[in-house]
Amino acid sequence: MFKLNLTIAWRNLWKHKIYTFINIAGLSIGMASCILIFIFIRYQLSYDDDFQHKQRIYRVVSNWKYLNGTDASQGVPIPLAAAVRTEMPQLEKVAAIQRTTGVLAALGESGEVRFKAYEPAYFAEADFFDIFNFSWLAGNPKNDLLAPNTVALSESAAIKYFGRWQDAIGKILRFQKQEDARVTAIFKDRPENTSLPLQVVFSYATFSQKNDKSWGTVRSTSECYVLLKDGVQIRDADAAMEQFNLKKYKDNDEAGRQYHSFQALSDIHQNGRYGNFAGRSIEKSELYSLAIIGLFLILTACINFINLATAQAIGRSKEVGIRKVLGSERRQLIIQFLTETLAISVVAMLIACVLTEVALPYMQQLFDEKISFSLLQHPIIFVFLVGLVLLVSLLAGFYPALIISGFNPAMAIKNKVSSSYAGGLGLRRLLLVLQFTITTVLIISTMVVMKQMQYMREKPLGFNPNAIAIVGLPGDSLSLLKHENFKARLLAIPGVEQVSLFDVAPSSNNVSESDFSLNGTANKDFQIRTMHIDLDYFKTFDMKFIAGKMLLKSDTTNSYVVNETFLKRNGINDPEQALGKLLTVNSVTAPIVGVSKDFNDKSLHEQISPIVMSSNHLDYYNMAVKMDSRQMVNVMAAVQQLWNATFPNDVYESSFVNDDLNDYYAAERIMGVLFRVFSFVIIFISFVGLFGLISFVTNQRTREVAIRKVLGASTFELLRLLNGSFLLLVFLANLIAWPLAYILINQWLNQYAYRIELNVWPFAAAMFISMLITLITVSLRSYKVAGTNPVDALKYE
């Protein structure tokens, strides 16, 4: 019976080729999108999931409460790790880990440098490896990573620096040209999906600032991980941490403002607020919105299925009637129709798997992640596929099966099942409205996302980022002496227009903040952002003054330039009045000599900070090279050559300001692409479904159309008749979609400090697009019917 059902199913599908194609095309594209989304979400959820004690691992993080907001950091004060270890009995293990970036050099037998690279390295306490279980190829952190000047390498780092990991043991790795460490242990490479991308780990004893006692300084590079004792609840540990905060910051400047809390390991990748060493995170809300889009996709495809199947049911009523008088039970008919749906779903799934394979490289490129699509490697994906097929078959097949199998045989045999009975015209309308509501919401969202992206690309930032490269500078005392001479020689390269030395570019996420006093009055309400710049900074970045002038020439701080926001926050209305006021930052008091026009110093998600700029040549570890845009390639090569000749022991690093700015919006770029792709897919599915539905409706109305024609209706009048109901439904869907889209998109836009205002255009455009496509789809189909000879149509009855 099952085999026969399958054969019949196959013949039926073949007979209605267009219907089958529409169903399978819509379903497989919808399914492929769902699979991609699932693979991506699974991958994101798999971060940091491979540790034995993952349920009990927490990170200690820092938080601040200010009058006008809050702040958070993944880091903790350096003395915190030792303090919680002795003071919090709830913790089984506590380990500090410090990140740094510098020049790593592998030494050969005779002490010569064999290979060097500028890379991140870590200092970790041995307990770190009790909290996180790594697999060790050689050595053991308990014994081999305690002494100063020892280092553990990952397998691939060992191969990179020393050729073979077996050869690395006992060799010397030099850090920042001064610290030599012996390789004592090798661990297996960490998977890609980790927030702890450790390659080179020095013993914590090697860390020069390990005895720092400052509780007021929090660097995002100093993290602390803890392992809760078995059986301890996190809320008990939280309570203990509250007591700890009170005690530590009792008589402190930071009292009431700075406090620490525990963050679960599983939250680290999914919470961008704190950040992590891998620099990769994804917000839960993004995962949710992706999941919702996936659900929408599959829902739209299923709606197609239901609509087409119930519309087609009338054509199959005869078969149902005959089967019933031949002795078929309703249950058997339901099974038969579900078999057909299942067959379609399985075929669609196979095509979807192929589509997924084709699309995966693009998605990998989009997300810049290694995502694997292997049924064997991740059985959960296989389970998802099977689940999806079953869900779709039931969701899309059960209702039509129920309707079709319920036909009265006497009526069915005579083909007298009315279209309204066959699957409730009302329900089909409802589904169509639902489908187009989803489609319209996505069209509107896509347009707004695109507009906001364009706004961010085009908004004047207050400085000119074009044709400027940022080049790193070594900051050791020997290199510092070479800075000025290097700058002069760079300016001699043809095509170099300006060169400026500084610590951070005008827009950067690398933020140093500080307290300050203005005219002797200390400010406790907010902190200012400090930047250290040389005299060519404004010229290089084409920034403007609104009052005063550039800093006085000096290697150390003897004057300040502030920005407009600084004045506003301090209640100074006239920029001229600010000039000459005495400002104290980091215990250095000097007059304000200039006020700069505001420029966006962070991404457009955030407001402009109050900024204080001053000279300090000790902090110039970056350099901007403004070039003639026509000669950039040659100039960059020449700059690199000169750099390598000047600083032979260091590693050259450079980037373009424009690229750095684009990096702020990587998430938006991804969202933008996803929105465009998925809304296109949904539009495609919806309209293909509409096309199919209209085909059936017009077929059913062939007789009505013929009679009307005989009565004298023109083709145009007939088109209007057939279009009318659909246009009304799509219009209704638009009305429902508008407020929904407004709420969703406003929510999304609210995360930007600088955002476009919503106007009526995206909404009107979405309506126009959806109505136009409906009109075209319906007219295309119904034109044929309206054009048929009424004699042919009426002959059937």
Partner 1 sequence: MITLSNIEKYYSNKGIKNYVLRHVTTQIHPGEFVSIMGPSGAGKSTLLNVLGMLEQPTYGKYEFMGEDVSLLKESKRIELYRHHIGFVFQAYHLIDEMTVAENIEAPLLYKKVGGAERKSRVADILDRFNIVAKKDLFPNQLSGGQQQLVGIARALVAQPSIILADEPTGNLQSTQALQIMDLFKKLNQEEGITIIQVTHSEVNATYGSRILHLLDGVIKEDEAVLT
Determine, following the binding rule CB under 8 A, whether residue 273 of this chain makes contact with partner 1.
no
Q: In whole angstroms, how close is the CB of 322 to partner 1 at the nearest point?
A: 5
In the bound state with partner 1, the residue whose beta carbon lies nearer, of 329 and 792, is 329
Q: Are 184 and 168 in contact (CB under 8 A)?
A: no
CA dihedral 626, 627, 628, 634 (to 10 degrees): 180
Total of residues contacting partner 1 (CB under 8 A) = 24
Region at 542 (left for phi over 0; alpha for psi -120 to 50; beta for the rest) = left
In the bound state with partner 1, the residue whose beta carbon lies nearer, of 13 and 34, is 13
- Residues in Cβ contact with 752 at an 8 Å cutoff, skipping those fewer than 6 apart: 452, 456, 604, 605
In the bound state with partner 1, the residue whose beta carbon lies nearer, of 415 and 485, is 415
In the bound state with partner 1, the residue whose beta carbon lies nearer, of 410 and 430, is 410
DSSP string, 675-693: HHHHHHHHHHHHHHHHHHH
Q: Which of 149, 261, 266, 332 binds partner 1 (CB under 8 A)?
A: 332
Q: How many C-beta atoms surround the C-beta of residue 348 within 10 A?
A: 26
Q: Which amino acid is at 751?
A: Q
Tokens of 760: 């009526």
Q: Which residues of 199-229 are buried (b: 16+ CB within 10 A; e: fewer)?
A: bbbbbbebbeebeeeebeebbbbbbbbbbbe
Determine, following the binding rule CB under 8 A, whether residue 321 of this chain makes contact with partner 1.
yes
Q: In whole angstroms, how close is the CB of 699 to partner 1 at the nearest point?
A: 16
Determine, following the binding rule CB under 8 A, whether residue 329 of this chain makes contact with partner 1.
yes
In the bound state with partner 1, the residue whose beta carbon lies nearer, of 273 and 323, is 323
Q: Which of 71, 283, 319, 542 binds partner 1 (CB under 8 A)?
A: 319
Q: In whole angstroms, how close is the CB of 796 to partner 1 at the nearest point?
A: 12
Helix (H) or strand (E) holding 367: helix 330-367
Q: In whole angstroms, how close is the CB of 326 to partner 1 at the nearest point?
A: 5
Query: How far apart are alpha carbons 65 and 88 in whole angstroms?
Result: 24
Q: How wide is the angle at C-alpha 595 spanned by C-alphas 590 and 596, nearest 5°? A: 130
Query: How far apart are alpha carbons 473 and 623 in whole angstroms?
Result: 7
Secondary structure percentages of the chain, helix, strand, coil, to 5: 50, 20, 30
Query: How far apart are alpha carbons 702 and 786 in whole angstroms?
Result: 8
Handedness of CA 180, 182, 187, 188 (dihedral sign): positive
Q: Which amino acid is at 717?
A: E
Q: In whole angstroms, how close is the CB of 349 to partner 1 at the nearest point?
A: 24
Query: How far apart are alpha carbons 705 and 757 in whole angstroms?
Result: 48
Q: In whole angstroms, how close is the CB of 404 to partner 1 at the nearest point?
A: 14
In the bound state with partner 1, the residue whose beta carbon lies nearer, of 201 and 412, is 412
Window of 176-184, 325-333, 437-445, 738-746 that interacts with partner 1 by CB under 8 A: 325-333
Q: In whole angstroms, how close is the CB of 662 to partner 1 at the nearest point?
A: 58
Residue numbers 108-167 binding partner 1 by CB under 8 A: none
Window of 315-323, 341-349, 533-541, 571-579 that interacts with partner 1 by CB under 8 A: 315-323
In the bound state with partner 1, the residue whose beta carbon lies nearer, of 250 and 331, is 331
Residue 70 — φ and ψ, nearest 5°? -130, 165
Residue of 291, 352, 296 whose CA lies nearest to 44:
291
Q: Are 650 and 103 in contact (CB under 8 A)?
A: yes
Q: Are 774 and 688 in contact (CB under 8 A)?
A: no
Residue numbers 392-411 binding partner 1 by CB under 8 A: 408-410
Q: Which residues of 655-665 are buried (b: 16+ CB within 10 A; e: fewer)?
A: ebbeebbeebb
Window of 324-332, 420-428, 643-651, 740-748 that interacts with partner 1 by CB under 8 A: 324-332
Counting beta carbons within 10 angstroms of the beta carbon of residue 262, is it exposed (0 to 12), middle (13 to 18) or buried (19 or more)? buried
Q: In whole angstroms, how close is the CB of 375 to partner 1 at the nearest point?
A: 34
In the bound state with partner 1, the residue whose beta carbon lies nearer, of 130 and 319, is 319
Q: In whole angstroms, how close is the CB of 2 to partner 1 at the nearest point?
A: 11
Query: How far apart are alpha carbons 675 and 449 in whole angstroms?
Result: 8
Q: In whole angstroms, how close is the CB of 400 to partner 1 at the nearest point?
A: 17
In the bound state with partner 1, the residue whose beta carbon lies nearer, of 269 and 324, is 324
In the bound state with partner 1, the residue whose beta carbon lies nearer, of 227 and 412, is 412
Handedness of CA 502, 503, 509, 513 (dihedral sign): negative
Q: Which of 177, 229, 323, 605 binds partner 1 (CB under 8 A)?
A: 323
Tokens of 793: 């149509």
In the bound state with partner 1, the residue whose beta carbon lies nearer, of 12 and 686, is 12
Q: In whole angstroms, how close is the CB of 23 to partner 1 at the nearest point?
A: 17
Residue numbers 78-107 binding partner 1 by CB under 8 A: none
Q: How many C-beta atoms surround the C-beta of residue 617 within 10 A?
A: 14
In the bound state with partner 1, the residue whose beta carbon lies nearer, of 1 and 492, is 1
Q: Which of 239, 322, 552, 618 binds partner 1 (CB under 8 A)?
A: 322
In the bound state with partner 1, the residue whose beta carbon lies nearer, of 147 and 322, is 322
Window of 171-179, 321-329, 435-443, 716-724 that interacts with partner 1 by CB under 8 A: 321-329
Window of 143-151, 292-300, 313-321, 346-354 that interacts with partner 1 by CB under 8 A: 313-321
Q: In whole angstroms, how close is the CB of 725 to partner 1 at the nearest point?
A: 28
Q: How far is CA 655 from the centre of its chain?
A: 22
In the bound state with partner 1, the residue whose beta carbon lies nearer, of 321 and 594, is 321
CA dihedral 139, 143, 147, 151 (to 10 degrees): 20
In the bound state with partner 1, the residue whose beta carbon lies nearer, of 12 and 530, is 12
In the bound state with partner 1, the residue whose beta carbon lies nearer, of 320 and 381, is 320
Q: Which amino acid is at 529?
A: R
Q: In whole angstroms, how close is the CB of 13 to partner 1 at the nearest point?
A: 10
Q: Measuring CA to CA, how many Å separate 514 from each of 73, 506, 524?
A: 15, 17, 11
Q: Which of 149, 328, 655, 788 binds partner 1 (CB under 8 A)?
A: 328
* CA atoms lying within 13 Å on the CB side of residue 104: 24
Q: In whole angstroms, how close is the CB of 319 to partner 1 at the nearest point?
A: 5
In the bound state with partner 1, the residue whose beta carbon lies nearer, of 323 and 569, is 323
Window of 61-69, 157-165, 326-334, 659-667 that interacts with partner 1 by CB under 8 A: 326-334
Q: Are 535 and 550 in contact (CB under 8 A)?
A: yes
Contact pattern from residue 408 through residue 427 relative to partner 1, giving x for each residue in contact according to CB under 8 A and a dash for the rest: xxx--x--------------
Q: Which of 327, 494, 648, 712 binds partner 1 (CB under 8 A)?
A: 327
Q: In whole angstroms, how close is the CB of 332 to partner 1 at the nearest point?
A: 7
Residue numbers 2-21 binding partner 1 by CB under 8 A: 4, 7-8, 11-12, 15
Q: In whole angstroms, how close is the CB of 348 to partner 1 at the nearest point?
A: 21
Q: Which of 18, 325, 478, 710 binds partner 1 (CB under 8 A)?
A: 325
Q: How far apart are the first and last CA of the chain?
A: 34
Q: In whole angstroms, how close is the CB of 345 to partner 1 at the nearest point?
A: 20
Query: How far apart are alpha carbons 396 and 301 in whole angstroms?
Result: 9
DSSP string, 564-591: HHHHHHTT---HHHHTT-EEEETTEEEE
In the bound state with partner 1, the residue whose beta carbon lies nearer, of 324 and 626, is 324
Q: Which amino acid is at 555?
A: D
Q: Which residues of 493-509 are buried (b: 16+ CB within 10 A; e: fewer)?
A: bebbbbbbbbbbbbbbe
Q: Are 423 and 405 in contact (CB under 8 A)?
A: no
Q: In whole angstroms, how close is the CB of 318 to partner 1 at the nearest point?
A: 6
Q: Which of 54, 182, 318, 597 binds partner 1 (CB under 8 A)?
A: 318
Positions that interact with partner 1 (CB under 8 A): 1, 4, 7-8, 11-12, 15, 318-319, 321-330, 332, 408-410, 413
